[in-house]
Amino acid sequence: MRGKKGPNDFRVRAYNSKTQIGLQPKHAHFAIDFYGKLCANKEKALNVLMAIIEVWHGKSIEETLLKYKEKCEGLPGYDLEYILNTMKWILEQEDVNFKGRSQKRQIELDKICSSQNVITPKNREGSQLAIALLCDIANGTHPVEAFIKARLRI
């Protein structure tokens, strides 16, 4: 049911260890952050996207951080460790909450992802929407337009 949590649904909440203030991170936070990174340095920002993809494909956060941390240094916004830890949970949440989509919509998402050479892992179709959103922004689509195209509320 849209807007209601089912028996296996969950929401992600991140806490700042210093202030103990909690935040429920959303796709919009990471889409806007990614766009800012792209504007600052496209090459480094694309490394952030690749790091997210590797975690989405099951690589450990620790291993991914070792590979990408230096490649992403100096970018504005969220640091890579926060992005990977939080996105891992958000993507898992999307898979748990996923109820299916039309074949036409699935083809659209596959096309957007493939434009960045991203293949959707088995049983990750729910989280593919969030990944496709980031890929669309990487392709040059403004975040607002990408959200509208993805049919996500901002």
23, β-bridge pairs = 14
Residue 42 maps to a domain: yes
pLDDT in tens for each of the 154 residues of the chain?
Answer: 445 555 555 455 555 555 444 566 677 889 999 999 999 999 999 999 999 999 999 999 999 999 999 999 999 999 999 999 999 988 998 898 888 999 999 999 999 999 999 999 999 999 999 999 999 999 999 999 998 888 876 6
Range of the domain at 23: 15-150
Q: Which helix (H) or strand (E) holds 15?
A: strand 14-15
Residue 1 maps to a domain: no
Residue 7 maps to a domain: no
Q: Which helix (H) or strand (E) holds 23?
A: strand 22-23
Residue 5 maps to a domain: no
Residue 28 maps to a domain: yes
Among residues 142, 104, 137, which one has the least CA distance to residue 118? 137
Distance CA 132, CA 56 (A): 12
Among residues 154, 148, 145, 139, which one has the least CA distance to residue 30? 154
Residue 3 maps to a domain: no
Where would I find the H helices in 20-79? Answer: 27-40, 42-56, 61-68
Residue 65 maps to a domain: yes
* Count of the separate structural domains present in the chain: 1
